[in-house]
Copies of this chain bind each other. A is one copy, B any other.
Amino acid sequence: MDNMEMDELFDKLNALVKEKKYRELKAELIEMNEVDIANFMEDLNSEQTVVVFRMLPKELATDVFAALPVENQQQIITSITDNELSVIVNDLYVDDAVDMLEELPANVVKRVLKNSSPDTRKLINQFLNYPDDSAGSVMTAEYIGLRKTMTVRDAFEYIRENGVDKETIYTCYVTDDTRCLEGVITVKDLLMNPYETVIGDIMDDNVIKVTTTEDQENVAMIFNDYDLLSLPVVDNEDRLVGIITVDDVMDVMEEEATEDIQKMAAIIPSEKPYLKTDVLTLARNRIPWLLVLMFSSLFTGAILLKYENAFAAVPLLVTFVPMLMDTGGNSGSQASTMIIRGMAVGDIELPDAAKVLWKEIRVGMICGFILASANFVRLMIQYPGHTMISFVVVLSVFCTVIIAKSIGSMLPMLAKAIHLDPALVASPMLTTVVDAASLMIYFTFASRILGLMNN
């Protein structure tokens, strides 16, 4: 179904809701994917949301509930009975429940926890304690755990009995009596071996795993490197506490990329979608860096002012200032972007610093030479008389590009070396540093070559 067909379907469903043709509506809904139902319900008003939710069959209802945004979840929670709430909460995967609870107001959280079974409540509380962005905060508790003495037949039986509630059944984890992780076996391995085979003989005991405190960005990198469907998470004693599934990792990847992109644009990152973020929050996320950058650019202004007699003597000089600053800024941010992204995806590491700098200097020389030449041609045509000024401009462009690329590539690595976030530190600071550098280069050349000032 493409977007247009989906829009048509939604229009039809909306009409059914308005006309209160609930039987027809229900018939349509139960044929649909839970994600599509959730998308449809998002735009309903609070009352309609609850009506539609109540007409869903029980299992579908929980799946739809998990896929809804937290606003709609809250509407539903506040209008169903404790009993109904209890069923939903105990049916939710722990990671979905935790994601929801982190967003809900305290009184609603209290009611949800009151209506969970003691086991679920304990798990939820444990999960709520894992630091944000850690492996523990992304994992779920519902995995298939096997013993190595089981046969393939036992394993299948166990999966048939217990698999319905597990987030993934395709990778099973083999643990000992103390819940220590001993090995991993996929359903594919199980299917490819005779029923009598003992799990211990065919499991892979070289398990790729992480601890609960591992950064979620590294988790995403591990999934990507090893093409995993799920990854076991252990505590400090190597006991299996949960698994991370690939669908949650895709969310992490998108989130981390968005975060890096926002940081590079001098925005305090936020996970909420743009259209659902209120104006005040948007402003609050943008003002701090704007203020910092505004005041640091006063420094550039001070440099300009210092050379005001140069402007007075040769007014033409001022016309090249934006070009130089922009070219420096763009050259620098090209370099810093390559390095920040390269480090984020694991292509570039700190020991590569010298290699990177040497590379950027050469790239800078090539880019600088071409930009300077282009400028030279233009200046010769536009200001044929001003050979010396042209010379100053061309030389400044060349040097600015090289310096900008060097600073742009080294700032992120420096940030990383002192354990700061490269994206956060490097990009927003870069403009100011490079602006100042390019102006100083320009006026140094101008004063030396044109002999404008007394030095």
Contacts and interface: CB of A to CB of B under 8 A. Distances in A.
A397 B226 CA distance: 50
Contact of A254 (B224, B352, B367): B224
B224 A294 contact: no
A229 B171 CA distance: 13
Among A206, A275, A375, the most chain B Cβ lie within 10 Å of the Cβ of: A275
B262 A338 contact: yes
A59 to B, nearest CB: 12
Interface in A130-169: 156, 159-160, 163-164, 169
A108 interface: no
Nearest to A260: B261
Contacts of A273: 342, 347
Nearest to A251: B224
A327 B286 CA distance: 11
Contacts of A290: 327, 330-331, 334, 367, 371, 401
A168 B345 CA distance: 25
A362 to B, nearest CB: 5
A355 B250 contact: no
Count of this chain's copies in the oligomeric assembly: 2
A5 interface: no
A366 interface: yes
Interface in A369-426: 370-371, 374-375, 378, 397, 401
A172 B229 CA distance: 16
Interface residues on A, range: 35 or more
Contacts of A331: 286, 290
Interface of A: 1, 31-33, 35, 156, 159-160, 163-164, 169-170, 187-188, 191-192, 206, 208, 223-229, 246-247, 249-251, 253-254, 257-258, 260-262, 264-267, 273-275, 279-280, 282-283, 286-287, 289-291, 293-295, 297-298, 300-302, 304-305, 308, 311-312, 315-316, 318-323, 325-327, 329-331, 333-334, 336-339, 341-342, 345, 347-348, 352, 355-356, 359, 362-363, 366-367, 370-371, 374-375, 378, 397, 401, 428, 431-432, 435
